[in-house]
Homo-oligomer: A and B are copies of this chain.
Amino acid sequence: MKQIFSSILAVIVLFMSTLAQKTYPGSELKQLQSPQNPRIGFVIHGGAGVISRGSLTPEKEAEYRKKLEEAVMAGYRALQEGKTALEAVELAIRILEDSPLFNAGKGAVFNAEGKNELDASIMDGKTLKAGAVAAVQRIKNPISLARLVMEKSPHVLLVGEGAERFAVKQGMELVDPQYFWTKERWEQYLKMKKEREEKTVNMLGMPEVQQKYGTVGAVALDKYGNLAAGTSTGGMNYKMVGRVGDTPIIGAGTYANNETCAVSATGWGEYFIRLNVARDVSALMEYRALPIQQATDLVIQQKLKKLGGDGGVIAIDKFGNIGISFNTEGMYRAYINSEGKPVVMIYKDE
């Protein structure tokens, strides 16, 4: 009798899981590992925005793809070797921060006074511990400082000089702010400055010109079943001094909870704060039991669009299912597919 019951139950469960499978829309969603193996999963982004076909030279495009592949593979290999989701997230983000291609660490955009102010955050889905820094000017890898704030301070968010002083106490070397300077970003700054000064643009209306948001981020599921998320950015070109976007705001730019998912966002930060984008994806899974792709789509394609914001998110759940959604023309992104191979994408139609 018991056996019959279990068999029936098994059939029901199988049937229901098929149903659940069918409700997932889109093609981004992957079951990363076979059920026999502990599942691991890794996804990164390098920002969203006006990245239409033809806007990048073939050489530049190849550079982006190469760096994204390097970062996603580095994180994935770390997970394969038994490193934690937190470690993989930090590792991959450091690679992206060190690359001048992305608006984080080296290659960050400049604020209205021609300075780089960097933001980053990281969150551990197992403990719900989190660390973040904002408006730091001399930290080579803000994501690593965010992790130190989480692990070595009683606080979640440290800003400005206080954050840098904490870094020094933790044995971190400060870099000269000149380290972050790149020719491309400086030219973008000068161009924006000229436009602002000529047009005496209403500051409330920014950005009239849609931007590329080069924020970087990563989400991971490790073999211990733990999720983590991290995000790092230089913010918005020509932002006001002291402006902090969604990246270091837990719940806006970054969120991780083993019960639901890990999320990293990129886009027009103010909208992501107002909507609590990362936490909302998690809430839709927690309270509405939405599959991860549906949850990211609902927030990005409906709520964010309705409010007038743009950008995107990457997310991963405890089963290794991936959600990727953006409402811009492109998003630098990469993940590891079910064969363990990296998939790197830039444009919307990929």
Which A residues are within 8 Å of any B CB, using their own CB? 123, 128-130, 134-135, 152-163, 165-166, 203-206, 239-245, 249-252, 255, 269-270, 273-276, 279-280, 283-284, 287-288, 307
Contact = CB atoms under 8 A, between A and B. Distances in A.
A55 to B, nearest CB: 25
A206 B205 CA distance: 43
29 contacts: A123-B274, A128-B275, A130-B273, A130-B274, A134-B159, A152-B204, A153-B204, A154-B206, A156-B274, A157-B273, A158-B240, A158-B243, A159-B160, A160-B160, A160-B161, A160-B242, A161-B241, A161-B242, A162-B240, A165-B241, A249-B249, A250-B252, A250-B274, A250-B276, A276-B276, A279-B279, A279-B283, A280-B283, A283-B283
A33 to B, nearest CB: 29
Chain multiplicity (copies): 2
Contacts of A123: 274
Nearest to A157: B244
A158 B269 CA distance: 13
Given A135-B162, A166-B240, A242-B163, A273 B251 contact: yes
Nearest to A161: B242
Most buried by B among A158, A163, A241, A274: A274
B158 A242 contact: yes
A242 B244 CA distance: 13
Which applies to chain A's interface (DSSP): helix, strand, loop or mixed? Answer: mixed
Contacts of A270: 154-156
Given A156-B274, A270-B155, A287-B288, A243 B162 contact: yes
Contacts of A249: 157, 249-251
Contacts of A245: 157
A244 B158 contact: yes
A192 to B, nearest CB: 13
Contacts of A275: 128
A156 B123 CA distance: 22
A229 to B, nearest CB: 13
B204 A157 contact: no
Given A154-B204, A155-B240, A160-B242, 12 more contacts: A135-B162, A152-B204, A153-B204, A154-B203, A154-B206, A157-B245, A157-B273, A162-B240, A250-B276, A251-B251, A279-B280, A287-B287
A243 B155 contact: yes
B160 A205 contact: no
Contacts of A280: 279, 283
A120 B312 CA distance: 28
A243 B248 CA distance: 13
A224 B73 CA distance: 54
A244 to B, nearest CB: 4
Nearest to A130: B274
A200 to B, nearest CB: 14
Contacts of A134: 159, 244
Most buried by B among A156, A166, A204, A269: A156
A107 B123 CA distance: 33
